Structure 1
Amino acid sequence: MLVVSSEEVQKNRLRLKTTITSVRWLALQGCSFRGHNESCKPLNRGNFLEMLDAFGRLNKDVGEVLNSAARNNKYTSPEEQKEVLNIMANRVRQKIRGEIGDASICILVDEAQDESKREQMALILRFVNSSGILTKIFFAIKSVRDTTSLTLKHAVSDILVHYNLQAQKMRGQGYDGASNMRGAWNGLHALFLKECPYAYYIHCFAHRLQLTLVSAAKDVRDIWDFFSHLDNVVNMVTSSPKRICELKITQRREIEHLLEIGELNSGRGAHQIGNLQRAGTTRWSSHYDSVKRLIDMYGVTCKVLEHLMEHSPNISCQAEVGGIYKNITSFEFVFVLHYMRRILSITDILCQALQKKSQDILTAMRFVYTTKSVIQELREDGWEEFQQEVISFCSKHDVCLPDFDSSYRIGRSHGREYPTVENHYHYDVFNKAIDFIQMELNTRFNETSVELLSLSFSLDPKNSFESFNMDDICKLAEKFYPQDFTKQDIYSLRIELQHYHNDVISEPRFQVSSLSELCQELVSSRRSENYVMLTRLIYLVLTLPVSTAIVERAFSAMKHVKTAIRNKMEDGFLTDCMIIYIKLEFAMNIDIDSIIDEYYAIKHRRAPFK
């Protein structure tokens, strides 16, 4: 049996501690570990080895044990790094698993390509923890050979089984609207429903909102034309560094002129020099930002286009810029520009609300209703004020105004005439687009006709529990969660609700605005110990998903961890780096000495001393 002195043991532990500290720091920062050349000669041997050298220079004891280590006992090889990283990642997953406990869970799943063009599936778990706090946690990312529903189902099931998470505890599923996800017969949600009939699927609300706006843009020709012209304007002005520089110079001159004549007030941080923003294809918030930015920089953009027309090197380029300038200075463009800012500003509040981490489905549905109401108010009472806003903008920027009282003909071939130009813009653009948006919102957000959510509103604490209905709450538990409530539990729930009505509803501390806040108050006040069945039902409703925005955040983290210069990263290494990078607070609290003990225990099991 090999005998190692206590002094050598302490040196080995110090070496390993230095390695663990370096690995954890690099993983937390999303940095690469290895260098292109890790031999002794290069000036830069990569982040990991250079960090070890830095520790050695700062601490004499560390430097001595690192330099005196035998070649096969340095704890610095790539295999040792992966071993340490895997131990830490498993510790984070165990922490998450402990936080979940026996709670019901909802899974959020989406897939995306990584830097090496491999399909990666991200899994997010949504649950209510023991403190009554609604929690959404990134749990795993796994490479899949394809994105068929069966492949994704097997991948999710493998992860759940590995960490002792029972599929029967699922009470919600959240995906986008792709056919492999929402297919009624063979979609991912349908496959899980066969195993767990109470894992209710809800299409991502943020994705529905995006589809609503896309449909409205496609169905109203003026809006579709506007976005085509907007793309041309942004592309033309931002297509080269010289044009961007010209834009910023013109903008600076414009701000200085307005400050001189007193139309702008100076202040710290005010009137920043900016740039036009290109709209994304999948995130409609970027369309809102693009529209706002062009309105703020409209005059400057027109001057830049005028400059390009005068100084373009050839006739074709001059003609292209001239066409774009003609479009941007037309009344039709300015009208739809302001119209889309108004519409997108209303829907953007809903879009941002849907992406909040602690959003519950009842609050999300209320935002949907208020969005519909505000848009309808704009249609009924907003035309005159909006028209004056557009006219004022056109007068300020010398945009030619049409004769609103003259007749309007749509194309030579159509032969259709409107009584006046104002009627065309009012009814064929303004009202028509709103009607399409309202129709799409009513079609895609029709949960009031779905009994599950209709009954769930009985739990809503808004406006002093005005929606409270004892029969609906009992019906919700009995019909939609029979696996969680026996007949005796339903009876107990009804008795609890009688006390709840006279106890909690009348107390000021429970006058909150959302179900998630009510849940936290019930737990913190220990009322949850008295209203066990009701608290269980609230947990289940909160588990229902709202949007998959957190999955998109996981993919953003993946792009940070796996980059163009790290595109050969192994899937296991990527997964371990991701879980530590995202769950920063868990990884920081890991005890290093316990990692050392686990490391040696693993090594001993693999190669015990003879």
Structure 2
Amino acid sequence: MDIMGNKHLLLMDLRIGRRYSNSFYNVVKRLCEELMNQFQHTQKVLDNFTFEQIIDNRLRLKVSIDTIQLLAFQVLDKALKNASYTSPKIQKEILHIFSTKVKNAIREEFGDAKYCIIVDETRDELKNEQMAIVLRFVDKDDIQNIRRQRYDGASNMRALVAASKAVIPIHKFFPKLTFVFNIVGASCKRNDELKVAQAVEIEHMIDIDKLETGKGLNQIGTLQRARHTCWSSHFKLVSSLIKIFSPTCEVLLNIINEGTTFVQRGDTDSAYEALTSFEFVFILHLIKEMLEITDLLCHALQSSTKAFLQKFREDKWDALLANMKSFCKVCNIDVPNMNVPYIRRRCRARDHQDDFTVEHYYRVDIFYATIDSQLQELNG
């Protein structure tokens, strides 16, 4: 005898309860269907049951359902026959009762102690705004036991990254960064290709004595996803991209040459062109250095972070530019002549020459402007 064949028998017994509550009947019906679905997954086990075991199991299930029916009917018999306990109005009333009890319990707990209310908002993964209201207080009998308080720096990081986007080249950089990540990290196959390319590069660098060997060194990794609600993850993304820049380029070139569709090859070509431009690489290094400093907001005082940023602005331009040129040389990226007049590109046509040099553009319009946006945000 197959226990799956008894589903209709159970539901026939349940129809007796319909005169009491259609809602309850539907709930128990869904319960039975879920139980039957679970039985399907264990059919091999059930096939080995004896006839007596099947009868006993059916009896236990029927008794359990009858018991649930009896208890529910005792409640429903005392209620109005047209009562509905799943309507939005009833649910709101129940929530109101719960909230009132919670508020009364909180009032009793902290009495006349001081308290504060924090209202914060953020975006979830679907980019929907979420607001949280937090009541912070200390028990009236325990305030003398306070030692310290700690705060999350995620909102500060978000404000700083948002402030940096006020600089147009930085604002254009982040979509390109996400574009590159989405192409390279689109599938397990591409992640595997990225790891293989890293292994080949590490082996080559070791052969030419450009890398040290030892335990924990030269680990193979992937690009770190930048999450909208966790701004410190942007620092991890730019750091990982700098570390595996050449393998990332190799994966993009493979897609351009072997992509299955014109759209795929065209999008990848655009990503590769953006990734290997001097401006993108310059901002990539600038953002990495800047976020490495501002990440200290989560661990240090705000004034210290401002001091680090100011020192970086005043002293680190030459070091950043030298590091950039060395990086571009390794990755075969053309470094523009910093002393020639800067020519602005508009709609892909170089039709306007400004009255300043290429170095002025990168140093003043991007380097200084980006750091100043951070300092202004911190001062505010």
Shorter-normalised TM range? 0.5 to 0.7
Q: Which moved more, 1:231-240 or 1:91-100?
A: 91-100
Structure 1 CA distance for aligned equivalents of residues 202 and 375 of structure 2:
40
Please state whether the residue corresponding to 1:391 is helix, strand or coil.
Answer: helix
Partner of 1:336: 283
Q: Are 2:321 and 1:311 equivalent residues in the alignment?
A: no
Is contact 1:217–1:223 with CA below 8 Å preserved after alignment? yes
Partner of 1:428: 365
Q: Are 2:306 and 1:372 equivalent residues in the alignment?
A: yes
Partner of 1:255: 202
Give the letter aligned to residue 327 of structure 2: F
Partner of 2:353: 415
Q: 1:35 to 1:98 in 2, by over 3 A?
A: farther
2:242 to 292, 295, 299: 295
Is contact 2:202–2:218 with CA below 8 Å preserved after alignment? yes
Partner of 1:124: 134
2:212 to 247, 250, 264: 264
Partner of 2:338: 404
Structure 1 CA distance for aligned equivalents of residues 192 and 181 of structure 2:
14
1:207 to 155, 160, 165: 155
Please state whether the residue corresponding to 1:274 is helix, strand or coil.
Answer: coil
Q: Deviations over 1:518-537 (max 9, x none)?
A: xxxxxxxxxxxxxxxxxxxx
Q: Are 2:120 and 1:107 equivalent residues in the alignment?
A: no
Q: Are 2:267 and 1:320 equivalent residues in the alignment?
A: yes
The 5 Å alignment of 1:80-479 reads: 100=110, 102-110=112-120, 122-129=132-139, 130=142, 131-134=145-148, 206-207=154-155, 209-218=157-166, 220-262=167-209, 263-268=211-216, 270-350=217-297, 352-353=298-299, 367-411=301-345, 412-418=350-356, 420-443=357-380
Please state whether the residue corresponding to 1:224 is helix, strand or coil.
Answer: helix
Using structure 1 for the length normalisation, give the TM-score: 0.42
Structure 1 CA distance for aligned equivalents of residues 309 and 378 of structure 2:
11
How far did 1:242 drift? Answer: 2.3
Give the letter aligned to residue 423 of structure 1: H
Please state whether the residue corresponding to 1:243 is helix, strand or coil.
Answer: helix
Structure 2 CA distance for aligned equivalents of residues 292 and 133 of structure 1:
36
Structure 1 CA distance for aligned equivalents of residues 285 and 308 of structure 2:
17
Is contact 1:409–1:417 with CA below 8 Å preserved after alignment? no
How far did 1:296 drift? Answer: 1.1
Q: Deviations over 1:215-237 (max 9, x none)?
A: 3213x222122212212211111
Partner of 2:90: none
Structure 1 CA distance for aligned equivalents of residues 337 and 124 of structure 2:
54
Q: 1:121 to 1:280 in 2, by over 3 A?
A: closer
Q: Deviations over 1:406-434 (max 9, x none)?
A: 2322244543131x322321222111222
Partner of 1:482: none
Q: Deviations over 1:131-172 (max 9, x none)?
A: 124579xxxxxxxxxxxxxxxxxxxxxxxxxxxxxxxxxxxx
How far did 1:335 drift? Answer: 0.7
How far did 1:343 drift? Answer: 0.9
Structure 2 CA distance for aligned equivalents of residues 371 and 299 of structure 1:
32
How far did 1:273 drift? Answer: 3.0
Give the letter aligned to residue 407 of structure 1: P
How far did 1:299 drift? Answer: 1.0
Structure 2 CA distance for aligned equivalents of residues 112 and 408 of structure 1:
40
Give the letter aligned to residue 114 of structure 2: S
Structure 1 CA distance for aligned equivalents of residues 370 and 102 of structure 2:
49
Q: Which moved more, 1:249-258 or 1:426-435?
A: 249-258
Q: CA RMSD in A?
A: 4.3
Q: 1:38 to 1:304 in 2, by over 3 A?
A: closer
Is contact 1:126–1:134 with CA below 8 Å preserved after alignment? no
How far did 1:441 drift? Answer: 2.6
Structure 2 CA distance for aligned equivalents of residues 332 and 126 of structure 1:
46
Q: Deviations over 1:337-360 (max 9, x none)?
A: 00000111111111x24xxxxxxx
Give the letter aligned to residue 347 of structure 1: T
Give the letter aligned to residue 132 of structure 1: I
How far did 1:289 drift? Answer: 1.5
Please state whether the residue corresponding to 2:165 is helix, strand or coil.
Answer: helix
What are the ranges of 5 or more consecutive residues in structure 1 without an aligned counterpart?
A: 1-33, 46-67, 78-89, 137-173, 175-203, 354-365, 444-610
How far did 1:101 drift? Answer: 5.7
Give the letter aligned to residue 377 of structure 1: K
Is contact 1:127–1:134 with CA below 8 Å preserved after alignment? no
Using structure 2 for the length normalisation, give the TM-score: 0.64
The 5 Å alignment of 1:570-609 reads: none
Q: Deviations over 1:243-271 (max 9, x none)?
A: 22211222233234434554132314x44
Is contact 1:391–1:401 with CA below 8 Å preserved after alignment? yes
Percent identity over the alignment? 36
Structure 2 CA distance for aligned equivalents of residues 380 and 324 of structure 1:
33
How far did 1:375 drift? Answer: 0.9
Greater RCO, 1 or 2 (C-alpha within 8 Å, sep 6+): 1
Structure 2 CA distance for aligned equivalents of residues 69 and 317 of structure 1:
57
Q: 1:320 to 1:128 in 2, by over 3 A?
A: same
Partner of 1:15: none
Give the letter aligned to residue 213 of structure 1: V
Q: 1:133 to 1:253 in 2, by over 3 A?
A: same
Is contact 1:408–1:421 with CA below 8 Å preserved after alignment? yes
Partner of 1:551: none
Please state whether the residue corresponding to 1:415 is helix, strand or coil.
Answer: strand
Residue-pair matches, total:
298
Partner of 2:97: none
